[in-house]
Structure 1
């Protein structure tokens, strides 16, 4: 068997630092280059300090995963333009203390050599990865040999509740800023702003607006630029016993003339092709980050859970209608603004959930509004009205 020179991820296994100790500064990746062909490819990344790393493989499609300690990527986008064996390269944070590089390969690929070298001038280190094309049998062997679940060891998969325990009688709302960390989301057509920053800015404004309402406790599933898997987002909402889950997005479309807000609820069958395509893209969030998709729990077989899902779905539809009603005549909506599809992030069986596209980064007029703090404030206030209206109806009906 070919040996792989892979450094042990010692930094990720260190004991927790003493209380009050300063957190180590993130590594800085300040340069990169890639060269090669469809048989062999070399990737070099330059760091300010010596990086510890580990390498793993994911199938369907084949990907090479390089896990790193927390890293700030100060790279020019063109320095890691995919070529050779790789047709997509993504990098970014995976949560506190960890970052990741995901190399999507055109076919079965193996890292045949990996090492960290110090620069000749002593001012930094280079991570050198040599990859080669292999057959499917060898790739299957690599997958079988590794003991890896897709998580980063520095990040707890059972993420703790990140907000105080719910006050008695409070109406709790989880506001989920879509994307984050390695998953940048859509890119603005004018400013090249990443969707993950747009959704977080809006989510923060919405939480602040909701928390000014009597009896409401709103919180963020993520409050910084970090990656959360789709199941984690749902789990956080359920940990807080959320009464509502609102996931914020600002996608792109090929049809750049389409603009306006859209509200989505979950359904086994998509309402239209636009909804189906959007759900398919959003459901790839975990795959983009190199997280193997887990099989869904067999809850549907349980008649009680199935009934809960039906009731929750009805409440979700009522929330969506309330949002559309609040937006009408106040902000731009697309045609048929309430649509539905199989969004994985909306699958909590007991939490009414909507996915709100506040606009499209592919439309220049929408993009300008999405970056306008005053517009975000206006939309947040309209959403708060919709939530209060929904809340009154839900309480009246025992929801």
Structure 2
């Protein structure tokens, strides 16, 4: 994945305060940056937090996990001339009350982390050595290092709707759907990529037209565990508002299953290279099993995303909706379509063009995806399947 194409142009919220901040034992007091031969990030705390620093790889930001910690204010951004760091942001950690700081870097560089304590505060210093040979991705922690284990990433294919000659809906103020959903998709990709054990793939990287069938094919090619298509709704009544989440209808899935059975390439994907040699009944059963499992997984993932959207925004439909969207017609990749808001509503159109609002939408969708990923890992573990070891 090309880092510049995924993260280029992505703006971060400089301030984000956790909803659990009132109960935090430790506060982030300030963030400072140092340059020179050994560029540094210095984070001052009101006390000593439990922490670990995780290098998620060349295409992802550096993650700093902080237990029972909250922000006391904004995050000072690195100066433009900083040789390693490009920007810093935050989001809730996996544990209740925890905080994750994310540092986007301009290039790979080995780092060392240390915690120091003074009478009135503690300081975490992350120091890079940019002139050294880049070190392989690894996690540094204030506890004993665990033996490295192979990780199979949970791959999320993120599809920004429309693109190129297909503008999508156009708001009353002239806002193009294809542009705002691309901005939200990039932010969502950032959050997914920053999560240990997860990987984001953008179906379209810029303002380009991608055929609907080809979008699903891209998800299949990258072996996606989940496909999420981001859109903005529109209606003739400018007062209609709210988010919706869709999955493929049973009728649409049945029609697609019939198409797959008639397509030797798709049949091979479901049943293996020798499916075409089997009788029609066996082929039908195998395709039906794949269809049912995918529909069930799609519904579970969509319900979790809708639940998170409902916490932060008005929803147009209180339950997951069913439709025959062509982009969802994949029988082997759980898929959903998220209508983030009504671009035809003047107020929601303004919100969709707001960077902070886009970030809130992306973060809500991400929380739902993360919850589904965790449930999938638990289910796979209970079934005795090999699941990823998440740092």
Residues 297 and 311 (structure 1 numbering): CA distance in 2 closer, same or farther, change over 3 Å?
closer
Tell me, yes or no, if structure 1 residue 176 matches structure 2 residue 159. Answer: yes
Q: Quote the residue 1:69 is aligned against.
A: none
| Partners of 1:173 and 1:218 within 8 A in 2 | yes
Which of residues 254, 267, 273 in structure 1 aligns to 2:249? Answer: 267
Q: Distance in 2 between matches of 1:297 and 1:180?
A: 27
Q: Distance in 2 between matches of 1:380 and 1:226?
A: 21
Which of residues 187, 197, 218 in structure 2 aligns to 1:205? Answer: 187
Q: Quote the residue 2:331 is aligned against.
A: 349
Tell me, yes or no, if structure 1 residue 187 matches structure 2 residue 170. Answer: yes
TM-score by length of 1: 0.50
User: Could you tell me how far 1:257 is from its partner in structure 2?
Assistant: 1.4
Q: Quote the residue 1:334 is aligned against.
A: 316
Which of residues 221, 232, 239 in structure 2 aligns to 1:257? Answer: 239
| Partners of 2:303 and 2:319 within 8 A in 1 | no
Aligned residue pairs total 208
What is the correspondence of 1:210-249 to structure 2 with a 5 Å cutoff? 210-249=192-231
Q: Quote the residue 1:298 is aligned against.
A: 261
Residues 269 and 309 (structure 1 numbering): CA distance in 2 closer, same or farther, change over 3 Å?
closer
| Partners of 1:261 and 1:337 within 8 A in 2 | no
Residues 221 and 385 (structure 1 numbering): CA distance in 2 closer, same or farther, change over 3 Å?
same
Q: Distance in 1 between matches of 2:238 and 2:151?
A: 47
Q: Distance in 2 between matches of 1:179 and 1:248?
A: 9
| Partners of 1:265 and 1:316 within 8 A in 2 | yes
User: Could you tell me how far 1:337 is from its partner in structure 2?
Assistant: 4.2
Partner of 2:227, secondary structure, is strand
| Partners of 2:231 and 2:340 within 8 A in 1 | yes
Q: Distance in 2 between matches of 1:265 and 1:302?
A: 22
User: Could you tell me how far 1:332 is from its partner in structure 2?
Assistant: 1.6
Q: Distance in 2 between matches of 1:180 and 1:327?
A: 24
User: Could you tell me how far 1:335 is from its partner in structure 2?
Assistant: 3.2
User: Could you tell me how far 1:329 is from its partner in structure 2?
Assistant: 2.9
Residues 377 and 352 (structure 1 numbering): CA distance in 2 closer, same or farther, change over 3 Å?
same
Q: Quote the residue 1:161 is aligned against.
A: none
| Partners of 1:185 and 1:251 within 8 A in 2 | no
Deviations 1:212-271 (A, max 9, x none): 11111001000111111011100100000000000011121122211111000000459x
TM-score by length of 2: 0.51
Supply the RMSD in Å over aligned alpha carbons: 1.9
User: Could you tell me how far 1:395 is from its partner in structure 2?
Assistant: 1.7
Residues 212 and 320 (structure 1 numbering): CA distance in 2 closer, same or farther, change over 3 Å?
same
| Partners of 1:262 and 1:333 within 8 A in 2 | yes
Partner of 2:342, secondary structure, is coil
Q: Quote the residue 2:359 is aligned against.
A: 377
Which of residues 326, 348, 369 in structure 2 aligns to 1:366? Answer: 348
Q: Distance in 2 between matches of 1:220 and 1:344?
A: 18
| Partners of 2:151 and 2:197 within 8 A in 1 | no
Q: Distance in 2 between matches of 1:350 and 1:297?
A: 11
Q: Distance in 1 between matches of 2:228 and 2:290?
A: 19
User: Could you tell me how far 1:168 is from its partner in structure 2?
Assistant: 4.1
Q: Quote the residue 1:318 is aligned against.
A: 300
| Partners of 2:230 and 2:339 within 8 A in 1 | yes
Partner of 1:186, secondary structure, is coil
Q: Distance in 1 between matches of 2:176 and 2:370?
A: 31
Q: Which runs of 5+ in 2 are unaligned?
A: 1-149, 253-257, 268-282, 386-391
Residues 337 and 371 (structure 1 numbering): CA distance in 2 closer, same or farther, change over 3 Å?
farther
Q: Distance in 1 between matches of 2:304 and 2:379?
A: 15
| Partners of 1:360 and 1:367 within 8 A in 2 | yes
Q: Quote the residue 1:388 is aligned against.
A: 370
